[in-house]
Amino acid sequence: MLELLLCSMLTILPDYLYRRYAQGKRLGKEITLYSVWFELRWGIVTCLMLTIGLITVVFYNHPSTTNATAYFRTIPILPETNGRVAQVYIEGVSGPVKQGAPIFRLDSSKQEAAAETARRRIAETDAAMVVAQADLLAADGKIQEAKSAYQQAVDELATKQEIYRRNPGAVATRDIEKLQVAVQGRQGSIDAANAAKQQAEAQLSTLLPAQKASAEAELAQDEVDLSKTVIRAGVDGRVEQFTLRVGDIVNPLMRPAGVLIPAGAGRGSLQAGFGQVESQALAIGMVAEATCASKPWTVIPMVVTGVQDFIAAGQIRSGEQLIDAQQVTRPGTVLAFLEPLYEGGFDGITPGSSCIVNAYSSHHEEIIAPETGMVRRTVLHAVDAVGLVHAMILRIQTLLYPIQTLVFGGH
């Protein structure tokens, strides 16, 4: 409407003034409701064409959208394991939480029993190490005993052999053979005692420490499982829609127990979806303006900080059926990220609020470039100038939005 009024001032009004003062035709006389089309046909046609051209230039070079929202992320509150709720730390269905603060606790009797079993196994291994040290001392004693018996048998055999050498009839051959067998038996006892000592040393240095390390690892795993029974907040924020109560069964595959909204989420940026035809005009660094429903009668200066280089409507996922292009019934939008131009400019905007955004193209660098021709420079000046029309439209929308919503919308 504003473009039509502006164009009519340049087309219909001059045409009427020419008819009135040059041709002497007056309203209600020569120019009536039935003859206005014939009398002002040049101005009306020119006005329509100029209006369509102006709207095209304005909306292409200065994109506008009502699909703008201050998006914010939410974190589902879910445990890593199944269990029954034993304690709830949040009163009511919502409340603020700090990072690391507990939200609710599952029944941990099974995890506590497993951790206690691991502790008992560690204590059992420590006791086995003490026993192994005693066995090592006992093996040393048996080695010494076997060596003494071996030395005694060797000495007795040497004595019998010396007597037999001097007087063969004084010692029986059978006695010497028995002593030789006894010496070999005593050597076997020494070897067995050494083997027992090596076994005790192996248990003390290798087997039992490995068993203790395994028990400690099991204890650490059980303590991790025990800690997982207490669900804590990963970030500072606020818990909402928390309806979990003591005695409820919680399953990670079921719906979340609630949502955690991080502090500051959606309070510093705005996401706007512009039409695909305007994608060539959108660029990082463009100045923009926004007005949001949660803060009426306020225009917020903003700047485009990012433009998503793909359109979400074209995404596909692997499945059992091929994608048909006709299934995309609605064309997607080009997502742009905007931030307030001045510090604190986004204060008072509720996260998730619906907004209207205008972005304004600027061809200043191209206009001042020496290689830019006069005609193109004039056209670019005109393109930048018509952004004022868009800015006026946004301010009219800002003024009328609360009235439309509260009075005519019935809210």
What phi and psi values does residue 237 have, to the nearest 5 degrees?
175, -150
pTM of this prediction?
0.68
Give the tens place of pLDDT for each residue, 29-42: 777 777 777 777 78
Class of domain 75-100+229-262: mainly beta
Cα(263)–Cα(250) distance, rounded to whole angstroms?
26
Residues 6 or more apart whose CB falls under 8 angstroms from that of 329 comprise: none
**SS3 string of 41-110?**
HHHHHHHHHHHHHHHHHHHHHCCEEEEEECCCCCEECCCCCCEEEEEECCCCCCEEECCCCEEEEECCHH
63-72+266-315+329-411: which CATH topology? Elongation Factor Tu (Ef-tu); domain 3 (2.40.30)
Q: Would the pLDDT of 21 be above 90?
A: no
Please state, rounded to an integer, the average pLDDT across all residues of the chain. 83
207-233: pLDDT as tens digits: 888 888 888 899 899 888 888 889 999
Residues sharing a CB contact under 8 Å with residue 311, sequence separation 6 or more, in sequence order: 276, 332, 333, 334
Q: Quick one: average pLDDT of 36-50?
A: 79
Q: How many Å apart are CA 3 and CA 388, to the nearest integer?
A: 11
pLDDT band at residue 6, thresholds of 50, 70 and 90?
confident
pLDDT tens for each residue of 258-303: 899 998 888 888 999 998 888 888 889 999 999 998 888 999 999 9
Q: What is the mean pLDDT of residues 114-118?
A: 90
- Number of Cβ atoms within 10 Å of the Cβ of 201: 14
pLDDT in tens, 384-400: 888 888 888 889 889 98
- Alpha carbon distance 182, 195 (integer Å): 20
- Over residues 58-105, the pLDDT tens digits come to 778 888 899 999 998 888 888 888 888 999 998 888 889 999 999 999
Q: Are 283 and 306 in contact (CB under 8 A)?
A: no
Is pLDDT at 169 greater than 70 in this prediction? no
* Residue-wise pLDDT tens digits, 328-369: 767 889 999 999 988 888 888 888 899 999 999 888 888 888
